[in-house]
Amino acid sequence: MSEVRGPVATLRRIAFLMERQREESRRIEAFRKAARTILPLPEEEVRQRAGAGTLTELTGIGPSTAAVITDAVNGVVPERLVALEETAGPLATGGEELRARLRGDLHSHSDWSDGGSPIEEMAMTAMELGHDYLVLTDHSPRLRVANGLSAERLSRQLGVVEAVNEHLGGAFTLLKGIEVDILDDGSLDQTPEMLRRLDVRVASVHSKLKMDAAAMTRRMIGAVRNPHTNVLGHCTGRLVTGNRGTRPQSQFDATAVFTACAEEGVAVEINSRPERRDPPTRLLGLARDLGCLFSIDSDAHAPGQLDMLDHGAARATEAGIDPDRIVTTWERDRLLEWAAHRL
């Protein structure tokens, strides 16, 4: 039985479930936009407009979202929400025990770079999912196609993160982070001064994915050896499905790269996005055997995608990875101590 919620919560829940099921972004945004429209309005005004049928006079509210709001105001669970809840089972099976042990997520994006939702919406959703922490890791400046953050913009974002945490009151922590590009020479695409101000740093390759294997190996090891790097993100860069098409994995000496990760205490990301499944199964087993730490992350670009950790937990369980080697099972203080251990 679906829970009766207020109109804003109902719209947010519908959008979350649509994102979780990977529905069309444009349709999802209609529900999020409607929620933003009515959020600042007095409850009585929303109720009066619902009764008078004038909700659609408000910018950002169409007939379908108006119907949802009207149902919610009248204490009725909208049919759209009922249908979504009925199909909202686990996204993957086999990793339920590990999924329950995960305390947070070290890789997420907001609308400051190429994500689709504000920082506070990502944080609220993570908290509602039961996370203890979420690391906000918007892109670095070189990745212009993803609206990567300059040092100045990142500095301003840190102030927003602090304000969100102050508002949330301590039950959940939004951590300061970055998904920093690994440049061609293995250096990181942000100033050392800014990187030191962050809690967690995910380093990923996003360009020249077809680089010669020897050069790619040097590039990745250079980033892993950098004391600012905590997590090696989606290490092969492959895409196996999805609306962006497919992309083969980058070629590199995985034994050398994962050995460096094990030596430096850098976690290999188990990227939970279904279109990535990165690392591939063979490389996941190799990293396990070489003694690497791991981080199960959603790489979420929308609130509903934060729940994709089911996929990563299932893959880690299948690979037989000890949960204590997965840093996202750690409580926050232990995680932060690890993230700062080479600085």
Other residues' Cβ atoms within 10 Å of the Cβ of residue 97? 10
Based on the domain organization, do 327 and 274 belong to the same domain?
A: yes
Does residue 111 share a domain with residue 174? yes
Which CATH number covers residue 12? 1.10.150.110
DSSP calls for 174-212: EEEEEEEEB-TTS-BSS-HHHHHT-SEEEEE--S-TT--
Q: What is the pLDDT of residue 8?
A: 97
Whether residue 279 is preceded by a cis peptide bond, meaning omega within 30 degrees of 0, is: yes
Q: Is residue 221 part of a domain?
A: yes
Domain termination site, one of 62, 86, 110: 86
Please tell me the predicted confidence (pLDDT) of residue 327.
Answer: 98
Q: What is the pLDDT of residue 187?
A: 98
**Judgement on whether residues 171 and 256 belong to the same structural domain of the protein:** yes
CATH of the domain at 291: 3.20.20.140
Q: What residues make up the domain containing 142? A: 96-339
What is the DSSP code string of 99-138? HHH--EES-B--TTTT-SS-HHHHHHHHHHTT-SEEEE-P
Burial class (CB in 10 A: 0-12, 13-18, 19+), 253: middle
Distance CA 342, CA 270 (A): 22
**Residue pLDDT, tens place only, 65-113:** 999 999 999 999 999 999 999 999 999 999 999 999 999 999 999 999 9
Residues 25 and 77 in one domain: yes
pLDDT in tens, 7-27: 999 999 999 999 999 999 899
Regarding whether 140 and 43 lie in a shared domain, the answer is no
What's the total number of domains in the chain? 2
Establish if 198 belongs to a structural domain. yes
Compute the mean pLDDT over every residue in the chain, rounded to the nearest whole number: 96
Q: pLDDT confidence of 169, banded at 50, 70, 90?
A: confident
Name 105's bridge partners: 134
Domain boundary among 34, 56, 86: 86
Q: Kindly tell me if the per-residue pLDDT of 245 is higher than 90.
A: no
Instruction: For Cα atoms 259, 341, 166, give the angle at the middle one, nearest 5 degrees.
Output: 125
3-state secondary structure at position 271: strand
> Which strand (E) or helix (H) includes residue 141?
none
Q: In what order do the strands lie in the sheet with 104-105?
A: 104-105, 133-136, 173-181, 200-204, 231-232, 267-271, 293-297
Residues 105 and 37 in one domain: no
Lowest mean pLDDT among 54-58, 161-165, 169-173, 295-299: 169-173
Residue 1's pLDDT is 52
Of the residues 58, 86, 114, the one at which a domain ends: 86
Distance CA 15, CA 23 (A): 9
Higher pLDDT pick, 24 / 269: 269
Burial of 75 (0-12, 13-18, 19+ CB in 10 A): exposed
Same domain, 146 and 262: yes
Decide if 160 contacts 192 (C-beta within 8 A).
no
Nearest-angstrom CA–CA distance, 146 and 250: 20
pTM for the full predicted model: 0.95
